[in-house]
Structure 1
């Protein structure tokens, strides 16, 4: 096989991009989900209003539309499919569209597609699926933007906001407990169905959540 000589920069497969976060999923990736290359249990939903890292712009911004991403590993955003030992991708030959487009020395192709034709949960669940109504109700009662407003008010001493926030967090926790229990679905699907737990989003605001019987308490850290 003749190796083509080129002076153009090429990907070194160092894994740096993968450690900054897994890809968002697009319509082009539907077949990878349908054939089981990417199971739903490996996907996390980032919901409208969540603050997320925008790779092309290298900024943390609130989402204006839902995003499905490959989960991170070990409590980080390092892509689940990146081997920590070899820095190789376990699905490289069938990697998602963003991974094909991404090159750290030329992000223009990724920027061109980044916010377009993204998949959502409703794209992956059939019309009439019994969980769609539950997901919509959860989004209504556990809105990330509303959670943020309540958390800021509670931090400033608003007791009513604090109680409402507790009710929201407890509802979120109960939904994640009851749906797998009553449906028989694995709990690993919760991050796809309902997004990241509110206690995780609050943790990013330096608010720790502790269980206390049937409710929770907050520790507002500096």
Structure 2
């Protein structure tokens, strides 16, 4: 285990920030992706309209723009490069810029750069890549904000909204099934290409999706 740092003017490497979520990625982090330090399979895309934890504001709010973020581990947002057992970071010497800037005793430097120069999926893919058009179609048909509106209406008993929501979730599922099948790429790439599955976003609204009678159904809780 690392010896804790007692100097209160710099990071004590306590791991609290890492447990609250991995960093968003900025243009300064592009070399880490290009040299393979950060693999695309380790990145999740958070899309406009998703509710996410804003570290500087310390509040949950909907995103206005796309964000690329290091995935979590063990079903949580704890950064996948963080080892809770040893309280260590697996890439500390080459950590992303947000990790370098963030200091829990003074978050002003992070606030100053938090929403600036964020990387987007298109920044990491060759111009004209065939998946770009498919990603754009998916963003249009499976927009988180539109999903939320349909989900709330379906919860209130709107049958057509429920059918439209079902069509949206099925499209999302099929995209995630077909792309790895047709391209041979790892299914772990889906989180980068298409963001979090709609099933996960709906679960955050206490809406369960399940198969019954050969069709997709929803369970509304709370």
**How does the TM-score come out when normalised to structure 2?**
0.96
RMSD: 1.2
Give 1:214 deviation, angstroms.
Answer: 5.1
**Match runs of 1:2-21 below 5 Å:** 8-21=8-21
Q: Is the 8 A contact 1:22 1:77 kept in 2?
A: yes
**Match runs of 1:67-146 below 5 Å:** 67-146=67-146
In the other structure, the counterpart of 2:43 is 43
When the two structures are aligned, how many residues end up with a matched partner?
Answer: 217
In the other structure, the counterpart of 2:3 is none
**CA spacing shift, 1:218–1:8, aligned 2, 3 Å:** closer
* CA displacement, residues 61-120 of structure 1 (integer Å, 9 cap, x when unaligned): 111100000000011000000012111100000000000000000101100100000000
Give 1:10 deviation, angstroms.
Answer: 2.5
Q: Is the 8 A contact 1:170 1:215 kept in 2?
A: no
**How does the TM-score come out when normalised to structure 1?**
0.96
Name the SS for the 2:61 alignment partner: strand
Cα distance in 2 for partners of 1:38, 1:67 equals 15
Give 1:8 deviation, angstroms.
Answer: 4.9
Give 1:7 deviation, angstroms.
Answer: 6.2
**CA spacing shift, 1:30–1:158, aligned 2, 3 Å:** same
Name the SS for the 2:45 alignment partner: strand
Give 1:12 deviation, angstroms.
Answer: 1.4
1:201 aligns with 2:201: yes
**CA spacing shift, 1:165–1:131, aligned 2, 3 Å:** same
Name the SS for the 2:88 alignment partner: coil
In the other structure, the counterpart of 2:30 is 30
Cα distance in 2 for partners of 1:109, 1:28 equals 15
Cα distance in 2 for partners of 1:125, 1:193 equals 10
Cα distance in 1 for partners of 2:131, 2:94 equals 29
Task: Point out where structure 2 has 5 or more consecutive residues left out of the alignment.
Answer: 1-5
Cα distance in 2 for partners of 1:214, 1:159 equals 18
* CA displacement, residues 8-44 of structure 1 (integer Å, 9 cap, x when unaligned): 5222111000000000000000000000000000000
In the other structure, the counterpart of 1:3 is none
